[in-house]
Each structure stands twice: as C-alpha cells, then as structure tokens.
C-alpha cells in the first residue's frame, strides 16, 4: 500500500484509530451522496466539523482517503462473516447465516459499501491516476477473496443437496444482487427499530436463497 495509514485487509480499529474512523465515516457519507469526483476535502471537513488540516494529518489526498474507506468497508464485511466460517453447523445453516450477516453489514455500513461499489466502477472505467488505479486493482483482489468465501459456502450447501445451480459464477452474482440490494434502495430512518432492520435482512436472504432452489424452512 502507498501509505502507512492505509488499512490492511483485516485491520481492526484501535483507540488510536478513532480519529481516522471519524474522518472515514464523514467521507463515506459525502462520497455516497455526491460521488468521488464531486466530493471535496472541504466538504468532508465540514461534515465532520473539523478542518482540512486534520484530514491531511492522516491522508495525503482525497484519493488516499477514498481508498482507506474502500478497504475499511471490505474489512467490515470480512469481520461480519468470518466467525460464521469457523463454527460447526450444517452447510445450509451456514449459508443462511453468512447471507444474513452480509446483509446486516451492508445495512449498518451502507455508506462504506457504496464507496466499495464506486471503487469497482472506477477500476472498470480507469478513472483514477495510475498509482491509485493499482491500489484499486489490489482491493479488487480482496473482493475476490471475499467472494470465494461465499462460493465455498454455496458449494457445500449444493453438495448436501439443499440448493442447486448450474454455474457457480451466475449463482454467486445473482445472490449478491439480492444481498447487496440495500446499498441502492435502503434508507435508514432515525430511530428505526432493530426488528425492522432484521425484517429487511430476512427478506433479502429469502429472495437470495430461493433463487438457489431452496424450499426448506427459513428459520
């Protein structure tokens, strides 16, 4: 990575990172609302009620900050599902649990996940300078690693005869369309009850798993 401030693939936030996390949270909301190109460091500073100097203390540029938000969004995803990959449980139960954990993470870290999506598009269209483009490519490899976890979970459930599909890539992309949907259409309300968020997650998982031919109990 280009700077020491950049998140590693599985870096956990410590107390000394809280200031950086506050900056990233404000930046993620700005990038989500206006996109990378239209967002300035001035706007981010206003969002967090601070100065650009504080941002520059941690980040050399807007691109540097964007890439840290991206990598942190991916770290959040890994943290959500990793514990479920280690627990002994039937394959179909693991599939349900991993799908729901991802949707919960998407809902709770929506702005960060929106930035991940923007980063994917920017890599595809080559809209960043060469150095940052190379880092986007590295982050894309991290996304591939994340997807591979889901591939293995799907394959295990298929081997048990609980789901079916012909092409793992098509199945995986279809599932991600369902469980990533809240990035586009979910708008959290102030004071929204936890059970309402759970209901949204359950519905996304229902559609995803039904696409795979599962007809069993959803509990």
Question: From CA 125, how far away is CA 115, in angstroms rounded?
Answer: 15
Closest CA to 23 of 1, 7, 2: 7
3-state SS of the chain: helix, strand, coil percent to 5?
A: 70, 0, 30
pTM attached to this predicted model: 0.88
Each of the 219 residues of the chain gets a pLDDT tens digit; together they read 333 334 443 344 444 455 899 999 999 999 999 999 999 999 999 999 998 999 999 999 999 999 999 999 999 999 999 999 999 999 999 999 999 999 999 999 999 999 999 999 999 888 887 888 889 999 999 999 999 999 999 999 999 999 999 999 999 999 999 999 999 999 888 888 899 999 999 999 999 999 999 998 887
Q: How many residues does the chain have?
A: 219
Domains of the chain (ranges; CATH) run 71-211 (1.10.357.10)
Question: From CA 120, how far away is CA 143, in angstroms rounded?
Answer: 9
**Per-residue CA distances from 170 to 42, 117, 150, 151 (Å):** 42, 19, 13, 11
- The residue with tokens 């001035």 is 42
């Amino acid at each position: 990575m280009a700077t020491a401030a950049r998140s590693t693939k599985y870096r956990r936030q410590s107390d000394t990172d809280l200031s950086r996390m506050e900056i990233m949270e404000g930046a993620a909301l700005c990038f989500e609302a206006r996109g990378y190109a239209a967002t300035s460091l001035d706007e981010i500073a206003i969002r967090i009620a601070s100065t650009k100097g504080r941002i520059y203390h941690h980040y050399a540029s807007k691109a540097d900050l964007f890439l840290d938000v991206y990598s942190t969004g991916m770290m959040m995803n890994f943290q959500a599902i990793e514990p479920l990959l280690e627990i002994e449980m039937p394959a179909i139960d693991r599939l349900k649990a991993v799908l729901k954990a991802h949707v919960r993470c998407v809902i709770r870290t929506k702005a960060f996940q929106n930035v991940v999506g923007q980063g994917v598009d920017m890599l595809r269209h080559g809209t960043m300078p060469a150095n940052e483009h190379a880092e986007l490519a590295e982050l894309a490899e991290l996304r591939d690693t994340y997807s591979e976890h889901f591939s293995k979970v799907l394959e295990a459930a298929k081997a048990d005869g609980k789901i079916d599909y012909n092409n793992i890539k098509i199945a995986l992309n279809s599932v991600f369309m369902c469980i990533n949907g809240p990035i586009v259409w979910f708008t959290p309300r102030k004071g929204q009850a936890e059970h309402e968020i759970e209901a949204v997650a359950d519905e996304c998982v229902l559609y995803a798993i039904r696409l795979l031919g599962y007809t069993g109990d959803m509990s």
